[in-house]
Homo-oligomer: A and B are copies of this chain.
Amino acid sequence: MSPRAGRERFADSRERLSSSRITILAEGAFGVETAKTASSAVRYQPERVCSVIDSRFAGQTVGETLGFGGDIPIVATFEEAMAVGPRPDALLVGIAPQGGRLPEAWRAVLVAALGLGMDIISGLHFFLSDDAELAALADRHGCALFDLRKPPDDLPVGTGRAMRTEAFRVLTVGTDCNTGKMTVSLELQRALAERGVRAAFAATGQTGILIAGTGIAVDAVVSDFISGAAERLTLEAAADGEAEIVLVEGQGSLMHPGYSGVTLGLLHGTLPQAMILTWMPSRPRIYGGNHSWVVLPELDEVIQRYEGALAWACPEIPGRVIGVSLATYDISEDEARAAVRHAREVTGLPATDPIRFGAAPLADAIIQARDAHAASA
């Protein structure tokens, strides 16, 4: 099978990015924080991962190394990755290098992959498509260089146009970063589909973009255009005429001193009609030593802050938090059930851990809110 023939399986570049078979370059870093893109790909799309390259764990499976990911083999070299199992269509660069430049050892692997007609997918801060050698090779071999974090160069300043979508707009917000905003969005998309409701997912981070095949990594956007990026994503997702609901992936937290600006920009660019609040019960403070001086308030107070901040720009919508999504993977099932009960009691809203207990209560809440909005319009 020639590479080109393989590629014909994909309808367009979006499908190619989101569903090609991949091998993941994670040399020296698989399982650690700098290989977050690698772990995320394995966690959310194990079926497309043919192999992981990290010589430290060669011979093991991903499941043995990470505790999830099953039988995906870990191999020592790119050549071995080409020899095991089904042939991958693309190489995912799943690690961030020290110093912000492309190490020469990696370049050799990328050149080899392009020579075999494979696409390259990268979440690096610098863009492979700006590299003259790689760009020329990709062009010659008909391959794509997908830079997940590269923002469009024509982003607008946000203007509130998102408020005119016919689709019902839902934004995930959070008490903190890494509390399951992308996860609950994807679970909700599936649960809504099971109820016959088509929802579009607007990705704002690199893992979401890898999964959706499109999106804008808002952490890489120049600050004047955060809200404009959210606006464009919302409008584009809503332009899928069959989508009745747009689920916009949130980022950060209004309470996070490092990322609150991104969060507010997303809020004012999306102008959601409903929000799902994500919460990790094991974290009473903002996570990470640099920010743990921020003590998080009770959930009802968090909800007031999000609803209040949204109304600063748009009092007439008015968007409400309609449910709470918990991330409880680091506590026992009993503790998780108690936390869900607590969230329900404090907020008076449906609450669940969508992975542990299913997304049904939140999917039902969205449909209800959408119907109430339609009835009042």
The distance from the CB of A231 to the nearest CB of chain B, in whole angstroms, is: 9
Of the candidates B221, B266, B313, the one whose C-beta lies within 8 Å of that of A294 is B313
Task: Confirm or deny: A219 has a beta carbon within 8 angstroms of a beta carbon on chain B.
Answer: yes
Which A residues, 212 to 267, have Cβ-Cβ distances below 8 Å to chain B?
218-224, 226-228, 254-266
User: What number of copies of this chain does the assembly contain?
Assistant: 2
**CB-CB < 8 A to A142: which residues of B?**
none
* Shortest Cβ distance from A259 into B: residue: B224
The distance from the CB of A339 to the nearest CB of chain B, in whole angstroms, is: 23
B222 touches A257 (CB 8 A): no
Given A264-B264, A294-B313, A305-B312, A158–B258 Cβ distance below 8 Å?
Answer: yes
A261 touches B264 (CB 8 A): yes
B261 touches A157 (CB 8 A): no
Which A residues, 277 to 295, have Cβ-Cβ distances below 8 Å to chain B?
290-291, 293-295
**CB-CB < 8 A to A159: which residues of B?**
257-258, 290-291
A261 touches B257 (CB 8 A): no
The distance from the CB of A340 to the nearest CB of chain B, in whole angstroms, is: 25
Task: Confirm or deny: A269 has a beta carbon within 8 angstroms of a beta carbon on chain B.
Answer: yes
B261 touches A261 (CB 8 A): yes
B265 touches A261 (CB 8 A): yes
* Shortest Cβ distance from A225 into B: residue: B223
Q: Knowing that A220-B224, A227-B261, A260-B264 are A-B contacts, what are 20 other residue pairs whose CB atoms are under 8 Å apart, sorted by A's residue number?
A: A158-B257, A158-B258, A159-B258, A159-B291, A160-B257, A218-B223, A223-B223, A223-B226, A223-B262, A224-B258, A227-B257, A255-B312, A257-B269, A257-B271, A261-B261, A261-B263, A261-B264, A262-B265, A294-B314, A305-B308
16 contacts between A and B (CB under 8 A): A159-B258, A160-B294, A219-B224, A222-B222, A223-B226, A224-B258, A224-B259, A224-B262, A227-B257, A254-B312, A255-B313, A257-B268, A257-B271, A261-B261, A261-B266, A295-B315
